[in-house]
Amino acid sequence: MKHITLLILALQLLSSAYTQHTNPTKQDDWVTDVATVEFEQGEIYYTHVDEPEYFAFLRPPYFMPGAFIMQTDINRPFTKNPLKKIFTDLDNFVEGFEIENSDIYDKNLFIRAATLEMIWSSYSLHLFTENTYLKLKALSQDKTTSVANKASLALKLHNIFSKSKSIKLEHIKNNSTSEYLSVQFDSDKLIFELNAISGDVEISIFIEGINGNLSYKFEGINPNEKTIIKNVELRDGMYLARLIVNGKEMESIKFTIVK
């Protein structure tokens, strides 16, 4: 009887381990320490820690019923790794993933990781690449129905982002362009390009953090000087560049710094 009881306990432990492997919970199997993606009943759930240091990057810019639902987990403990390491580790996994010889768990993990990159890429981080898109497309035809359905839903979200022109299928970091102003960050320098502005006008550019605090104020910019380079000391994060012409805001553009 004792041996039978031990056998039952052993089988229960194996069953529990298998369940955790094939059905990861939001708390035990996040894609990264600070954010994760889950697929449930035909919807994508994006969950992130409510941490001010990372908030500008983690909070997604869109809410899409039926395709994408945001959640916040303020109680999750996590290791405060630099954002660059988080992005690099995620990118290395997604880019290095090979469909051949991957089991169901690995395929699901890739779909979740690729979707997380997709969401973060809507902030112009551009982690999501064409190679990743092609892998998702291949998995949407996977013989395992659950894998195919998740990949198809991820592609649906990608189509929504693409229509909003928020994702480019290429690696470009620290660069944002709009109608009148483009912003690029390179080696602690902000490089502004003025477009379609001329004449006797007064131009200023304000740089604000995501919380609205003013970081820099550049005034008296020559409208005939199309390229303006300014030395700055800015931490990783999302910023807003406001173009002021003759005292009125002409345009604002978001840009992201990842060193």
Domain 175-257: homologous superfamily in CATH:
Immunoglobulins (2.60.40.10)
pLDDT band at 106; cut points 50, 70, 90: very high
Rg over alpha carbons for the chain, rounded to the nearest Å, is: 23
Both tokens of residue 203? 């131009």
Cα separations in angstroms, 105 against 11, 83, 193, 208: 21, 26, 46, 42
Domain range annotation of the chain: 26-163, 175-257
Instruction: Calculate mean pLDDT across residues 116-143.
Output: 84
- Nearest CA-CA partner of 243 in 235, 234, 255: 255
Q: What is the pTM of this model?
A: 0.58
Cα separations in angstroms, 26 against 137, 168, 217, 239: 25, 29, 43, 30
- Of 127-136, 211-220, 222-231, give the range with the top mean pLDDT: 127-136
CA distance 29 to 15: 17
pLDDT tens column, 122-131: 655 567 888 8
pLDDT tens column, 71-88: 878 778 888 888 888 888
Check residue 31 and give its pLDDT. 94
- Nearest CA-CA partner of 32 in 114, 132, 154: 114
pLDDT of 215 strictly over 50: yes
pLDDT of 137 strictly over 50: yes
